[in-house]
Structure 1
Amino acid sequence: MTFASILLLGFVLGMRHATDADHVVAVTTIVSRERSLRNAAFIGALWGLGHSITLFLVGGALVLFRLTIPPHVGLGMEMVVAIMLIVLGAMNVTNAMRRIEEAAGGRKSSPDHAHGHEHAHEHRILKGASLMQLGRALVVGIVHGLAGSAALALLVLTTIRKAGSALAYLVIFGVGTIFGMMFLTMAMAVPMAIAANRFAQVGRVERAMARATGLLSILFGGYLAYRIGVVDGLFSMHPQWSPE
Protein backbone atom coordinates (compact mmCIF):
# COMPACT_ATOMS: atom_id res chain seq x y z
CA MET A 1 0.00 0.00 0.00
CA THR A 2 1.41 3.38 -1.03
CA PHE A 3 1.67 6.32 1.36
CA ALA A 4 -0.96 8.24 -0.65
CA SER A 5 -3.43 5.37 -0.25
CA ILE A 6 -2.65 5.24 3.49
CA LEU A 7 -3.48 8.95 3.78
CA LEU A 8 -6.70 8.44 1.82
CA LEU A 9 -7.60 5.61 4.16
CA GLY A 10 -6.88 7.88 7.12
CA PHE A 11 -9.27 10.51 5.74
CA VAL A 12 -12.04 7.95 5.23
CA LEU A 13 -11.50 6.43 8.69
CA GLY A 14 -11.55 9.93 10.18
CA MET A 15 -14.95 10.60 8.62
CA ARG A 16 -16.23 7.27 9.95
CA HIS A 17 -14.74 8.04 13.37
CA ALA A 18 -17.03 11.07 13.61
CA THR A 19 -20.05 8.75 13.66
CA ASP A 20 -19.02 6.83 16.80
CA ALA A 21 -21.95 6.56 19.20
CA ASP A 22 -20.50 8.73 21.98
CA HIS A 23 -19.58 11.43 19.45
CA VAL A 24 -23.07 11.46 17.96
CA VAL A 25 -24.74 11.66 21.37
CA ALA A 26 -22.50 14.51 22.54
CA VAL A 27 -22.91 16.64 19.43
CA THR A 28 -26.66 16.01 19.30
CA THR A 29 -27.02 17.77 22.65
CA ILE A 30 -25.30 20.83 21.17
CA VAL A 31 -27.17 21.10 17.85
CA SER A 32 -30.58 19.91 19.08
CA ARG A 33 -31.97 23.47 18.77
CA GLU A 34 -30.05 24.57 15.70
CA ARG A 35 -32.13 25.48 12.63
CA SER A 36 -29.37 26.75 10.36
CA LEU A 37 -27.43 24.19 8.33
CA ARG A 38 -24.54 26.64 8.07
CA ASN A 39 -24.35 27.13 11.82
CA ALA A 40 -24.65 23.38 12.39
CA ALA A 41 -21.75 22.76 10.00
CA PHE A 42 -19.67 25.37 11.84
CA ILE A 43 -20.44 23.74 15.19
CA GLY A 44 -19.44 20.36 13.77
CA ALA A 45 -16.23 21.79 12.36
CA LEU A 46 -15.27 23.24 15.75
CA TRP A 47 -15.97 19.91 17.45
CA GLY A 48 -13.80 18.18 14.86
CA LEU A 49 -11.06 20.78 15.29
CA GLY A 50 -10.95 20.34 19.06
CA HIS A 51 -10.99 16.57 18.67
CA SER A 52 -8.19 16.68 16.09
CA ILE A 53 -6.02 18.96 18.21
CA THR A 54 -6.09 16.50 21.11
CA LEU A 55 -5.56 13.52 18.81
CA PHE A 56 -2.53 15.15 17.24
CA LEU A 57 -0.95 16.32 20.50
CA VAL A 58 -1.57 13.20 22.58
CA GLY A 59 -1.39 10.70 19.74
CA GLY A 60 1.66 12.43 18.32
CA ALA A 61 3.47 12.21 21.64
CA LEU A 62 2.67 8.51 21.87
CA VAL A 63 3.92 7.93 18.33
CA LEU A 64 7.11 9.98 18.63
CA PHE A 65 8.20 8.67 22.01
CA ARG A 66 6.73 5.17 21.67
CA LEU A 67 4.86 5.63 24.93
CA THR A 68 2.23 3.31 26.36
CA ILE A 69 -0.76 4.35 28.41
CA PRO A 70 -1.40 2.42 31.66
CA PRO A 71 -4.88 0.85 31.90
CA HIS A 72 -5.94 3.10 34.79
CA VAL A 73 -5.00 6.21 32.80
CA GLY A 74 -6.70 4.99 29.65
CA LEU A 75 -9.90 4.12 31.47
CA GLY A 76 -9.70 7.40 33.34
CA MET A 77 -9.67 9.33 30.06
CA GLU A 78 -12.71 7.40 28.88
CA MET A 79 -14.46 8.06 32.20
CA VAL A 80 -13.97 11.81 31.63
CA VAL A 81 -15.94 11.44 28.39
CA ALA A 82 -18.73 9.55 30.19
CA ILE A 83 -18.98 12.27 32.86
CA MET A 84 -19.00 14.95 30.18
CA LEU A 85 -21.96 13.26 28.45
CA ILE A 86 -23.90 13.23 31.72
CA VAL A 87 -23.12 16.91 32.35
CA LEU A 88 -24.09 17.90 28.79
CA GLY A 89 -27.36 16.02 29.10
CA ALA A 90 -28.18 17.59 32.45
CA MET A 91 -27.49 21.05 31.03
CA ASN A 92 -29.84 20.40 28.10
CA VAL A 93 -32.65 19.15 30.34
CA THR A 94 -32.21 22.01 32.82
CA ASN A 95 -32.15 24.68 30.11
CA ALA A 96 -35.20 23.17 28.42
CA MET A 97 -37.17 23.19 31.67
CA ARG A 98 -36.12 26.78 32.32
CA ARG A 99 -37.32 27.84 28.86
CA ILE A 100 -40.65 26.08 29.47
CA GLU A 101 -41.12 28.06 32.70
CA GLU A 102 -40.16 31.31 30.97
CA ALA A 103 -42.59 30.64 28.12
CA ALA A 104 -45.40 29.81 30.57
CA GLY A 105 -44.73 32.96 32.55
CA GLY A 106 -44.68 35.06 29.39
CA ARG A 107 -48.04 33.67 28.23
CA LYS A 108 -49.62 34.46 31.60
CA SER A 109 -48.32 38.00 31.71
CA SER A 110 -48.82 39.07 28.12
CA PRO A 111 -49.37 37.01 24.94
CA ASP A 112 -47.96 39.81 22.80
CA HIS A 113 -44.83 39.97 24.96
CA ALA A 114 -44.39 36.21 24.78
CA HIS A 115 -44.73 36.29 21.01
CA GLY A 116 -42.19 39.11 20.80
CA HIS A 117 -39.77 37.20 23.01
CA GLU A 118 -40.17 34.09 20.86
CA HIS A 119 -39.60 36.15 17.70
CA ALA A 120 -36.46 37.75 19.15
CA HIS A 121 -35.18 34.32 20.17
CA GLU A 122 -35.83 33.02 16.64
CA HIS A 123 -33.99 35.99 15.12
CA ARG A 124 -30.97 35.38 17.34
CA ILE A 125 -30.78 31.72 16.30
CA LEU A 126 -31.19 32.49 12.61
CA LYS A 127 -28.55 35.19 12.83
CA GLY A 128 -25.84 32.87 14.11
CA ALA A 129 -24.83 30.25 16.60
CA SER A 130 -24.17 31.56 20.09
CA LEU A 131 -20.69 31.80 21.51
CA MET A 132 -21.71 29.29 24.18
CA GLN A 133 -22.63 26.73 21.53
CA LEU A 134 -19.38 27.26 19.65
CA GLY A 135 -17.24 27.16 22.78
CA ARG A 136 -19.04 24.07 24.03
CA ALA A 137 -18.47 22.29 20.71
CA LEU A 138 -14.73 23.03 20.82
CA VAL A 139 -14.33 21.94 24.45
CA VAL A 140 -16.36 18.76 23.94
CA GLY A 141 -14.25 17.89 20.91
CA ILE A 142 -11.05 18.38 22.90
CA VAL A 143 -12.28 16.13 25.71
CA HIS A 144 -13.45 13.47 23.27
CA GLY A 145 -10.01 13.43 21.68
CA LEU A 146 -8.56 12.12 24.94
CA ALA A 147 -10.50 8.88 24.73
CA GLY A 148 -9.59 8.22 21.10
CA SER A 149 -5.96 9.26 21.01
CA ALA A 150 -4.52 6.03 22.45
CA ALA A 151 -6.39 3.78 20.01
CA LEU A 152 -5.42 5.89 17.02
CA ALA A 153 -1.76 6.06 18.07
CA LEU A 154 -1.70 2.27 18.50
CA LEU A 155 -3.17 1.82 15.02
CA VAL A 156 -0.60 4.17 13.50
CA LEU A 157 2.30 2.48 15.28
CA THR A 158 1.30 -0.93 13.89
CA THR A 159 1.02 0.29 10.28
CA ILE A 160 3.44 3.20 9.82
CA ARG A 161 7.04 3.05 10.99
CA LYS A 162 8.31 6.54 10.09
CA ALA A 163 7.46 9.25 12.61
CA GLY A 164 6.90 11.92 9.95
CA SER A 165 4.50 9.73 8.01
CA ALA A 166 2.68 8.79 11.20
CA LEU A 167 2.17 12.45 12.11
CA ALA A 168 0.91 13.17 8.59
CA TYR A 169 -1.58 10.35 9.00
CA LEU A 170 -2.80 11.87 12.28
CA VAL A 171 -3.36 15.21 10.55
CA ILE A 172 -5.29 13.67 7.64
CA PHE A 173 -7.32 11.56 10.05
CA GLY A 174 -8.23 14.76 11.91
CA VAL A 175 -9.26 16.51 8.70
CA GLY A 176 -11.49 13.58 7.87
CA THR A 177 -13.04 13.77 11.32
CA ILE A 178 -13.77 17.48 10.85
CA PHE A 179 -15.54 16.91 7.53
CA GLY A 180 -17.41 13.89 8.89
CA MET A 181 -18.72 15.84 11.86
CA MET A 182 -19.71 18.78 9.65
CA PHE A 183 -21.90 16.54 7.51
CA LEU A 184 -23.30 14.84 10.60
CA THR A 185 -24.30 18.06 12.36
CA MET A 186 -25.86 19.41 9.17
CA ALA A 187 -27.98 16.26 8.94
CA MET A 188 -29.01 16.71 12.58
CA ALA A 189 -30.13 20.29 11.90
CA VAL A 190 -32.47 19.29 9.06
CA PRO A 191 -35.41 18.29 11.36
CA MET A 192 -35.25 21.65 13.14
CA ALA A 193 -35.09 23.51 9.82
CA ILE A 194 -38.18 21.62 8.59
CA ALA A 195 -40.01 22.27 11.86
CA ALA A 196 -39.20 25.99 11.65
CA ASN A 197 -40.79 26.18 8.21
CA ARG A 198 -43.87 24.03 8.92
CA PHE A 199 -44.88 24.67 12.51
CA ALA A 200 -45.79 27.95 14.16
CA GLN A 201 -44.90 26.74 17.66
CA VAL A 202 -41.34 25.75 16.74
CA GLY A 203 -40.18 26.73 20.24
CA ARG A 204 -42.06 23.75 21.64
CA VAL A 205 -40.30 21.46 19.17
CA GLU A 206 -36.94 22.90 20.23
CA ARG A 207 -37.63 22.30 23.89
CA ALA A 208 -38.87 18.76 23.27
CA MET A 209 -35.75 17.90 21.27
CA ALA A 210 -33.50 19.48 23.90
CA ARG A 211 -35.09 17.36 26.63
CA ALA A 212 -34.97 14.19 24.55
CA THR A 213 -31.31 14.61 23.56
CA GLY A 214 -30.43 15.57 27.13
CA LEU A 215 -32.01 12.44 28.58
CA LEU A 216 -30.32 10.32 25.91
CA SER A 217 -26.95 11.83 26.78
CA ILE A 218 -27.46 11.21 30.51
CA LEU A 219 -28.47 7.58 29.94
CA PHE A 220 -25.65 6.86 27.52
CA GLY A 221 -23.10 8.60 29.74
CA GLY A 222 -24.34 6.57 32.71
CA TYR A 223 -24.01 3.36 30.71
CA LEU A 224 -20.44 4.24 29.73
CA ALA A 225 -19.56 5.15 33.32
CA TYR A 226 -20.90 1.80 34.56
CA ARG A 227 -19.03 -0.14 31.88
CA ILE A 228 -15.77 1.69 32.50
CA GLY A 229 -15.95 1.76 36.28
CA VAL A 230 -17.47 -1.67 36.99
CA VAL A 231 -17.11 -3.94 33.97
CA ASP A 232 -13.65 -2.74 32.90
CA GLY A 233 -12.59 -2.24 36.51
CA LEU A 234 -11.36 1.35 36.60
CA PHE A 235 -11.62 1.40 40.39
CA SER A 236 -10.20 -2.09 40.88
CA MET A 237 -6.61 -3.21 41.29
CA HIS A 238 -6.57 -5.05 37.97
CA PRO A 239 -8.42 -3.04 35.30
CA GLN A 240 -9.02 -4.50 31.87
CA TRP A 241 -8.52 -1.96 29.11
CA SER A 242 -7.65 -2.07 25.45
CA PRO A 243 -7.78 1.04 23.24
CA GLU A 244 -10.78 0.96 20.89
Structure 2
Amino acid sequence: MTWIPFVFAAMVGFNHAFEADHVLAVGNIANKRPSIWMAIKDGIFWGLGHTSMIFLVGVFIIIGKLFLLEEVEFEFFEVFVGISMVGLGLYRLVKYQKTHDHSHTPKDANYRVAYSVGLIHGLAGSGTVILLAMSEIKSNVEGIFYLLIFGIGSILGMMVVAGVFTLPYLKSIQSGGAFHKVLVWISAGLCLSYGVWMIVSYFQ
Protein backbone atom coordinates (compact mmCIF):
# COMPACT_ATOMS: atom_id res chain seq x y z
CA MET A 1 0.00 0.00 0.00
CA THR A 2 1.44 3.34 -1.02
CA TRP A 3 1.04 6.25 1.39
CA ILE A 4 1.08 8.96 -1.27
CA PRO A 5 -2.73 9.08 -1.73
CA PHE A 6 -3.21 9.38 2.03
CA VAL A 7 -0.68 12.19 2.36
CA PHE A 8 -2.53 13.87 -0.49
CA ALA A 9 -5.83 13.31 1.35
CA ALA A 10 -4.48 15.04 4.47
CA MET A 11 -3.26 18.01 2.43
CA VAL A 12 -6.56 18.33 0.55
CA GLY A 13 -8.48 18.08 3.82
CA PHE A 14 -6.33 20.78 5.43
CA ASN A 15 -6.84 23.13 2.48
CA HIS A 16 -10.55 22.30 2.39
CA ALA A 17 -10.99 24.00 5.75
CA PHE A 18 -9.97 27.32 4.21
CA GLU A 19 -12.89 27.50 1.77
CA ALA A 20 -14.81 30.75 2.10
CA ASP A 21 -18.07 29.32 3.48
CA HIS A 22 -16.19 27.30 6.09
CA VAL A 23 -14.05 30.22 7.22
CA LEU A 24 -16.96 32.65 7.46
CA ALA A 25 -19.24 30.21 9.29
CA VAL A 26 -16.71 29.02 11.86
CA GLY A 27 -15.32 32.53 12.21
CA ASN A 28 -18.73 33.79 13.34
CA ILE A 29 -19.03 30.94 15.82
CA ALA A 30 -15.51 31.29 17.21
CA ASN A 31 -15.14 35.07 17.36
CA LYS A 32 -17.32 35.34 20.48
CA ARG A 33 -14.95 33.15 22.50
CA PRO A 34 -12.90 34.76 25.29
CA SER A 35 -9.85 32.59 24.60
CA ILE A 36 -8.02 31.16 21.62
CA TRP A 37 -8.32 27.62 23.01
CA MET A 38 -12.12 27.84 23.15
CA ALA A 39 -12.13 29.11 19.57
CA ILE A 40 -9.86 26.26 18.49
CA LYS A 41 -12.28 23.79 20.08
CA ASP A 42 -15.00 25.29 17.89
CA GLY A 43 -12.78 24.39 14.94
CA ILE A 44 -12.31 20.88 16.29
CA PHE A 45 -16.04 20.29 16.74
CA TRP A 46 -16.79 21.71 13.29
CA GLY A 47 -14.22 19.28 11.90
CA LEU A 48 -15.72 16.36 13.82
CA GLY A 49 -19.17 17.15 12.45
CA HIS A 50 -17.81 17.59 8.94
CA THR A 51 -15.81 14.36 9.11
CA SER A 52 -18.55 12.23 10.67
CA MET A 53 -21.02 13.18 7.94
CA ILE A 54 -18.56 12.52 5.10
CA PHE A 55 -17.56 9.23 6.75
CA LEU A 56 -21.19 8.14 7.18
CA VAL A 57 -22.14 8.92 3.58
CA GLY A 58 -18.85 7.47 2.32
CA VAL A 59 -19.28 4.14 4.10
CA PHE A 60 -22.85 3.91 2.86
CA ILE A 61 -21.73 4.39 -0.74
CA ILE A 62 -18.34 2.62 -0.79
CA ILE A 63 -19.22 -0.47 1.26
CA GLY A 64 -22.72 -0.72 -0.15
CA LYS A 65 -21.38 -0.42 -3.69
CA LEU A 66 -24.03 2.15 -4.32
CA PHE A 67 -23.67 4.50 -7.23
CA LEU A 68 -25.78 7.26 -5.78
CA LEU A 69 -23.27 9.94 -6.64
CA GLU A 70 -24.71 10.25 -10.12
CA GLU A 71 -28.30 10.31 -8.87
CA VAL A 72 -28.02 12.52 -5.79
CA GLU A 73 -27.58 16.20 -6.48
CA PHE A 74 -25.17 17.02 -3.67
CA GLU A 75 -24.99 20.62 -4.85
CA PHE A 76 -28.55 21.04 -3.58
CA PHE A 77 -27.23 20.75 -0.04
CA GLU A 78 -25.29 23.96 -0.64
CA VAL A 79 -28.66 25.66 -0.16
CA PHE A 80 -28.75 24.35 3.40
CA VAL A 81 -25.22 25.63 3.93
CA GLY A 82 -26.38 29.03 2.71
CA ILE A 83 -29.38 28.98 5.03
CA SER A 84 -27.19 28.03 7.99
CA MET A 85 -24.81 30.90 7.20
CA VAL A 86 -27.67 33.39 7.03
CA GLY A 87 -28.86 32.08 10.38
CA LEU A 88 -25.39 32.32 11.91
CA GLY A 89 -24.93 35.89 10.71
CA LEU A 90 -28.31 37.03 12.03
CA TYR A 91 -27.86 35.19 15.33
CA ARG A 92 -24.42 36.76 15.87
CA LEU A 93 -25.78 40.26 15.28
CA VAL A 94 -28.82 39.76 17.52
CA LYS A 95 -26.78 38.21 20.31
CA TYR A 96 -24.16 40.94 20.13
CA GLN A 97 -26.79 43.66 20.30
CA LYS A 98 -28.27 42.04 23.41
CA THR A 99 -25.06 41.23 25.30
CA HIS A 100 -22.35 43.34 23.63
CA ASP A 101 -20.13 40.37 24.50
CA HIS A 102 -19.63 41.77 27.97
CA SER A 103 -20.46 38.52 29.66
CA HIS A 104 -19.84 34.89 28.86
CA THR A 105 -22.26 32.45 30.43
CA PRO A 106 -21.55 28.72 30.91
CA LYS A 107 -23.57 28.14 27.74
CA ASP A 108 -20.69 29.68 25.82
CA ALA A 109 -18.83 26.42 26.38
CA ASN A 110 -21.43 24.64 24.24
CA TYR A 111 -20.00 23.38 20.95
CA ARG A 112 -23.16 21.87 19.47
CA VAL A 113 -23.54 24.75 17.01
CA ALA A 114 -20.06 24.19 15.59
CA TYR A 115 -20.68 20.45 15.31
CA SER A 116 -24.07 20.94 13.65
CA VAL A 117 -22.69 23.40 11.10
CA GLY A 118 -19.90 20.92 10.38
CA LEU A 119 -22.52 18.24 9.68
CA ILE A 120 -24.26 20.48 7.14
CA HIS A 121 -21.00 21.40 5.42
CA GLY A 122 -19.98 17.74 5.38
CA LEU A 123 -23.22 16.72 3.69
CA ALA A 124 -22.80 19.39 1.01
CA GLY A 125 -19.19 18.45 0.30
CA SER A 126 -19.41 14.69 0.67
CA GLY A 127 -20.07 13.97 -3.00
CA THR A 128 -16.84 15.58 -4.18
CA VAL A 129 -14.74 14.01 -1.43
CA ILE A 130 -16.13 10.51 -2.00
CA LEU A 131 -15.58 10.77 -5.75
CA LEU A 132 -11.99 11.81 -5.04
CA ALA A 133 -11.52 8.84 -2.72
CA MET A 134 -13.02 6.38 -5.20
CA SER A 135 -10.82 7.70 -8.00
CA GLU A 136 -7.64 7.43 -5.90
CA ILE A 137 -8.35 4.18 -4.04
CA LYS A 138 -9.88 0.92 -5.25
CA SER A 139 -9.99 -1.01 -1.95
CA ASN A 140 -13.02 -0.43 0.28
CA VAL A 141 -10.95 -0.43 3.48
CA GLU A 142 -8.38 1.95 2.04
CA GLY A 143 -11.16 4.15 0.67
CA ILE A 144 -12.66 4.53 4.13
CA PHE A 145 -9.21 5.17 5.59
CA TYR A 146 -8.74 7.85 2.93
CA LEU A 147 -11.91 9.61 4.12
CA LEU A 148 -10.69 9.51 7.73
CA ILE A 149 -7.32 11.00 6.79
CA PHE A 150 -9.09 13.71 4.81
CA GLY A 151 -11.20 14.41 7.88
CA ILE A 152 -8.18 14.68 10.16
CA GLY A 153 -6.62 17.14 7.72
CA SER A 154 -9.79 19.24 7.71
CA ILE A 155 -9.90 19.27 11.52
CA LEU A 156 -6.31 20.49 11.73
CA GLY A 157 -7.01 23.13 9.10
CA MET A 158 -10.09 24.41 10.90
CA MET A 159 -8.19 24.56 14.20
CA VAL A 160 -5.84 27.00 12.50
CA VAL A 161 -8.71 28.97 10.95
CA ALA A 162 -10.64 29.28 14.22
CA GLY A 163 -7.57 30.18 16.26
CA VAL A 164 -6.33 32.84 13.86
CA PHE A 165 -9.78 34.27 13.12
CA THR A 166 -10.54 34.94 16.79
CA LEU A 167 -7.32 36.87 17.47
CA PRO A 168 -8.67 40.32 16.53
CA TYR A 169 -11.68 39.77 18.79
CA LEU A 170 -9.87 38.93 22.01
CA LYS A 171 -10.36 41.52 24.74
CA SER A 172 -6.66 41.61 25.49
CA ILE A 173 -5.68 42.94 22.05
CA GLN A 174 -8.65 45.10 21.16
CA SER A 175 -8.10 48.81 20.86
CA GLY A 176 -11.59 49.56 22.11
CA GLY A 177 -15.28 48.68 22.09
CA ALA A 178 -16.01 50.47 18.82
CA PHE A 179 -13.32 48.49 17.00
CA HIS A 180 -14.74 45.22 18.30
CA LYS A 181 -18.26 46.21 17.24
CA VAL A 182 -17.09 46.99 13.71
CA LEU A 183 -15.34 43.61 13.46
CA VAL A 184 -18.44 41.76 14.65
CA TRP A 185 -20.70 43.57 12.19
CA ILE A 186 -18.29 42.98 9.30
CA SER A 187 -17.85 39.25 9.99
CA ALA A 188 -21.57 38.68 10.58
CA GLY A 189 -22.48 40.71 7.51
CA LEU A 190 -20.06 38.76 5.32
CA CYS A 191 -21.40 35.46 6.63
CA LEU A 192 -24.99 36.52 6.01
CA SER A 193 -24.26 37.94 2.56
CA TYR A 194 -22.29 34.89 1.44
CA GLY A 195 -25.13 32.65 2.60
CA VAL A 196 -27.65 34.62 0.55
CA TRP A 197 -25.31 34.44 -2.46
CA MET A 198 -25.04 30.63 -2.14
CA ILE A 199 -28.82 30.27 -2.06
CA VAL A 200 -29.43 32.62 -4.98
CA SER A 201 -26.62 31.05 -7.04
CA TYR A 202 -28.17 27.60 -6.83
CA PHE A 203 -31.56 28.72 -8.12
CA GLN A 204 -30.22 30.90 -10.93
Please say whether Structure 1 and Structure 2 have the same fold, judged by a TM-score greater than 0.5.
yes
Shift of 1:72: 6.5
**C-alpha distance in 1 between matches for 2:72 and 2:201:** 14
1:147 maps to 124
- Give matches, 1:62-211, under 5 Å: 62-64=61-63, 65-69=65-69, 73-99=73-99, 118=102, 121=103, 124=104, 130-132=108-110, 134-193=111-170, 195-197=171-173, 199=175, 201-202=176-177, 204-211=178-185
Aligned partners of 1:29 and 1:217 also within 8 Å: yes
TM-score, with structure 1 as normaliser: 0.76
2:59 maps to 60
Identity %: 26
- Give matches, 1:28-67, under 5 Å: 28-64=27-63, 65-67=65-67
Aligned partners of 1:60 and 1:170 also within 8 Å: no
TM-score, with structure 2 as normaliser: 0.90
Of 221, 229, 233, 2:195 maps to: 221
Aligned partners of 1:54 and 1:145 also within 8 Å: yes
**C-alpha distance in 2 between matches for 1:205 and 1:44:** 24
**C-alpha distance in 2 between matches for 1:167 and 1:155:** 12
- Letter matched to residue 228 of structure 1: Y
**C-alpha distance in 1 between matches for 2:142 and 2:132:** 13
**C-alpha distance in 2 between matches for 1:168 and 1:174:** 10
| Aligned-CA RMSD value | 2.2
- Letter matched to residue 182 of structure 2: A
Shift of 1:10: 0.8
Q: What is the DSSP-based 3-state SS (H/G/I as helix, E as strand, rest coil) of the residue aligned with 1:3?
A: coil
**C-alpha distance in 2 between matches for 1:143 and 1:158:** 24
- Letter matched to residue 76 of structure 1: F
- Letter matched to residue 93 of structure 2: V
Shift of 1:99: 3.0
**C-alpha distance in 2 between matches for 1:11 and 1:206:** 35
Note the residue ranges of structure 2 that are not aligned, 5 or more in a row.
none
Distance change (3 Å), C-alpha of 1:92 and 1:10: same
Shift of 1:82: 0.9
Q: What is the DSSP-based 3-state SS (H/G/I as helix, E as strand, rest coil) of the residue aligned with 1:130?
A: helix
**C-alpha distance in 1 between matches for 2:8 and 2:72:** 31
**C-alpha distance in 2 between matches for 1:164 and 1:72:** 23
Aligned partners of 1:63 and 1:166 also within 8 Å: yes
Aligned partners of 1:39 and 1:129 also within 8 Å: no
